[in-house]
Amino acid sequence: MNPMPIFDPADAERGSKSHRAARQFSLDSGPQALHEAIHQVLVTESDEQLTQIEVTGSAGQHSVLMRLDHLIRIQMKGPLGDYAFAFNSQADIRTTGEVGNGVAEGMVSGAVRVRGDAGVGAGAGLTGGTLAIYGTVGDRCGAAMRGGGIFVRGDVGDETGVGALNGMIVIGGNAGHNLGDAMSNATVFIRGSAASLAVGVTEAPLRKREQLRLGLLLINASIRGDAKEFRRIVPVALLEAEASERGELSPNWR
């Protein structure tokens, strides 16, 4: 299987005539002071040209930049610990380096892009926004998510999407055991294979509508890829409801 090509948003930014040097902040100032300083930065009126800042000092700290609610772009580099960017709103965060457990847990809106591996529970409880991880992810990715989209370029661990109520999870590699356990209205797109599907979920046809949905998520995650390369995994009840809406019959011949 060929690796999925990646478009680096920084390449376009470096070539932009309107690109400005980012202001710098440091994690050494302490989480509360940094949080307040970022929220005091004036934002632009254009969604296409967000105000950019750079945060330095990443060294495995936990709970970094939790509960941000500011329309701003943040660049970081270095390892981070658990619960980085949890409950983020509006901010567009791009970090290079490994992150621990619970990255972007409970994110409401905005985007988090991680160029590295992530631990357990990435995007758990997500309600909106986009989480893109250009590496591998541990178990329980997207657990109990209620909206938004998660993209993982590499492999994911066991019980991905467990208890997910809504939203989409896109897996560019392979998945572990029990994929989609107790999902209700969520969808998983997988490019590789799963060690096992959970009881109550099944592979479903990838229709035009789903291809468009997947294509939009790939664009939001700054990924070039063909949606047709993926397979769709959904709850059996959801597939039956789709068939009922289209008036399709699935007779049970005895």
Task: Note the pLDDT tens digit of each residue in 21-38.
Answer: 679 999 999 888 999 999
Can you give the pLDDT at residue 21? 66
**CATH classification for the domain delimited by 9-245, as one of 3.30.360.10, 2.160.20.60, 3.30.390.30, 3.90.1300.10:** 2.160.20.60
Model pLDDT, residue 216:
85
Which one of 7-16, 53-62, 219-228 scores highest in mean pLDDT?
Answer: 53-62
Between CA 79 and CA 66 the distance in angstroms is 16
The rounded percent of the chain whose pLDDT value lies above 70 is: 87
Residue 28, phi-psi category: left (phi > 0), alpha (psi -120 to 50), beta (remainder): alpha
pLDDT attached to residue 12:
38
Eight-class DSSP state of 144: T
What is the per-residue pLDDT for 252? 45
133 vs 138: CA distance, rounded Å: 11
Q: Are 157 and 139 in contact (CB under 8 A)?
A: yes
Residue type, 124: A
Distance of CA 72 to the CA centre of its chain: 18
pLDDT (tens digit per residue) in 148-167: 999 999 999 999 999 999 99
Q: What is the mean pLDDT of residues 54-61?
A: 96
